[in-house]
Amino acid sequence: MLPWGGISCCLSAAALYLLGRSSGRDADSLKSVGRVNQLKDLALLLDAASKVIPFVVCVSGRVGSETPIKCEYSGLRGVMVEETAEQHFLKHNDAGSWVQDSALMLCMSKEVPWYLDDGTGRVFVLGARGATGLELTVGSEIFEESGRSLVRGTLDYLQGLKMLGVKRTERVLPTGTPLTVVGEAIKDDVGTVRIQRPHKGPFYVSPKTIDQLIVNLGKWARWYKFASLGFTAFGVYLIAKHALGLILERRRRWEMHKRVRDAAAKRSGRDGDANGKDEGGSDSAKRDCLMPDLCVICLEQEYNAVFVPYASIPSFFCFVVFAGT
């Protein structure tokens, strides 16, 4: 039987090690990114580094848009809006009790062209929805209770449901939010500078500064490393314990077999001295002498009972009934 506990720990350690290496590489890549202090200088830097592909930079500024979206419930203006609607209800289970559950009814996303502005210039951001570190603010959460229609309530009850209401949530990236964007800087056909996801390299859109991102990634890399070492040590311990148990079990069996063979040799020697031994005995008789039907405890009587423990070889015992007992 394989030591699945130890193997699972070692596989988990390998996965954590790979995660730690990935976080460490991300931190190193962020350290090598060029930082743009003022957005007005980005166009000049892009022209000077035209041969560097991809030209990955870090820029900071506040979110802005010429056509912002106005949220329906919160009234906030933003450049990204996600609306979700969940139907909450009570469900009649097999045990006869009512259990609360929910189902997603609506999930809608809106985005308009937007840019970062630091007061000296602007840079448009493309494809930010798939960037790492993007966090949308919860603009509003509204719970609308279901109507008290008698017919609808009766039909739902016959289906094993009790409608509670609909929870509507708005998540938004408001205008004026300070962000840090790490990505590839390019110029379009009309000369507008944009930041997009590079084909190879980091792409972050985060409210944290780049120094905070580097520190956070380094911390996670160290945590993954220590966790990997811990899982590795525990897995090796479990595997070594299992292997040692197998070795000791095999040694115990070998010693028991040797003990039985030695006792059989002594007994056959006594029988040969008393009765004489036939030199032309068959091979099967010789094999029986090597492993006779002896009790493994007293090594004198033939066994007449078998004890079969779990995951072990059978042991043969004799039951001797004494007079008066």
- Please give the pLDDT value at position 254: 87
- Please give the pLDDT value at position 306: 60
Is residue 251 exposed (0-12), middle (13-18) or buried (19+ Cβ within 10 Å)? exposed
pLDDT at 9 over 60: yes
Least confident interval from 21-30, 158-167, 264-273: 264-273
Q: Is this model's pTM higher than 0.75 or not?
A: no
Q: Which band of pLDDT confidence, cut at 50, 70 and 90, is reported for residue 119? A: confident
Work out the number of other CB atoms within 10 angstroms of the CB of residue 204: 21
Tokens of 171: 């998540």
- Please give the pLDDT value at position 320: 47
Q: What angle do CA 103, 109, 112 make, to 5 degrees?
A: 170
Instruction: Give the pLDDT mean for 39-61.
Output: 80
Task: Please report where in the chains the tokens 């930079």 appear, as a residue.
Answer: 57
Helix axis angle for 4-31 and 210-275, nearest 10°, is 160
Angular region, 228: left φ>0, alpha ψ -120 to 50, beta rest: alpha
Least confident interval from 83-97, 144-158, 242-256: 144-158
- Please give the pLDDT value at position 290: 46
How far is it, in rounded angstroms, from Cα 238 to Cα 154? Answer: 59
H or E, element range at 84: strand 77-92
How far is it, in rounded angstroms, from Cα 70 to Cα 80? Answer: 10
H or E, element range at 99: strand 98-111
- Please give the pLDDT value at position 280: 47
H or E, element range at 296: none
How far is it, in rounded angstroms, from Cα 37 to Cα 133? Answer: 21
H or E, element range at 321: none
* 34-35/56-64 β-pairing: parallel
User: Mean pLDDT score of the chain, rounded to an integer?
Assistant: 80
How far is it, in rounded angstroms, from Cα 15 to Cα 164? Answer: 43
pLDDT at 296 over 80: no
Tokens of 47: 């022209």
